[in-house]
Amino acid sequence: MNAIDQFRRSFAIAKKDMLIFYLKGPVVIMGLLFPFFLFLAFLIGRNLGGETLFAGLVGMTVFFTSTAVGPTIVPWECRGRTFERLITAPVSLTTVLLGDFQASFYFGLGVSLAVSVPTMLYLGIHPGFALFLGSTLLALACFSAMAILMSSYPPTDVPADVMMLSSLVKFSLLFISGIFVPLDKLPAYGRAISLVSPLTYYVDAVKHSLGEGYLPVWIDLMMLAIFAVAFFLSGSWVHNRVLERRFT
């Protein structure tokens, strides 16, 4: 199967995921409601500039929306026995995961555009278009690949088990990523810890598009790309390792 056929089949899987999973309760809560209320908690009672608000809002929106769909797909399909039918069809497991990746990516892209464009107009923010768009697409790919890794273990058909673990990971990364406390105000050990989070690099790249930023912008973009590849390859490897355990 060549790359074009693989993409077509993965896109067909993505369309199926979009129709079935976008309106699921956990996706709506974690992908839409939660970042909204989290941003309100970030905003209220703080005298923040428009650039800081914009970077925080976009960072949380991209992060939570693109990681909301992926972790729920495999457990639900295992419970409904549709995952077993998928992998016995003439598609590889990698093709199935690419479809799940695209579903996460498109959900994150749609919601992020719906949030960021009106916010720019309201706040009068004018980020550098090429850098903002490029870093956002890289971040969406990175976090969608992270969702594939999150869905790989534990090999369960209970969505709540996967959501609990993925929420623990996402909250841990969120609070070390320079959104609530800028990188230049963190102590040295705090900055060192923040470098393990891919969200750190996206928020910093958005700040660069606004004329700010702490790390060199090429490092931000390079690390997002490296994380994206590493997450997807790791997720595919774990999915392959635990595949038989999903059906026992």
Q: What is the pLDDT of residues 198-228, one digit of tens each?
A: 999 999 999 999 988 899 999 999 999 999 9
Most confident of 9-23, 31-45, 157-171, 225-239: 225-239
Cis peptide before 155 (omega within 30 of 0): no
Task: Tell me the pTM.
Answer: 0.90
At residue 233, the pLDDT reads: 94
The pair of structure tokens assigned to 130 is 């090429």
Helix 217-242 to helix 198-209 angle, to the nearest 10 degrees? 150
Rounded to an integer, what distance in angstroms lies between the CA atom of residue 143 and that of residue 65?
9
> Residue 94 is part of which domain span?
3-247
Average the pLDDT over each of 18-27, 143-152, 185-194, 212-221 and give the range with the smallest value: 18-27
Burial (Cβ within 10 Å: 0-12, 13-18, ≥19) of residue 45: exposed
At residue 232, the pLDDT reads: 94
The pair of structure tokens assigned to 96 is 């199935």
Rounded to an integer, what distance in angstroms lies between the CA atom of residue 72 and that of residue 69?
6
Q: Please, which pLDDT band fits residue 45 given cuts at 50, 70 and 90?
A: low
Q: What is the mean pLDDT of the chain?
A: 86
In DSSP notation, 181-215 reads: S-GGGS-HHHHHHHTT-HHHHHHHHHHHHTT--SS
Q: Which SS3 state, helix, strand or coil, does residue 131 take?
A: helix
Number of domains in the chain: 1
Average the pLDDT over each of 76-80, 115-119, 138-142, 187-191 and give the range with the smallest value: 76-80
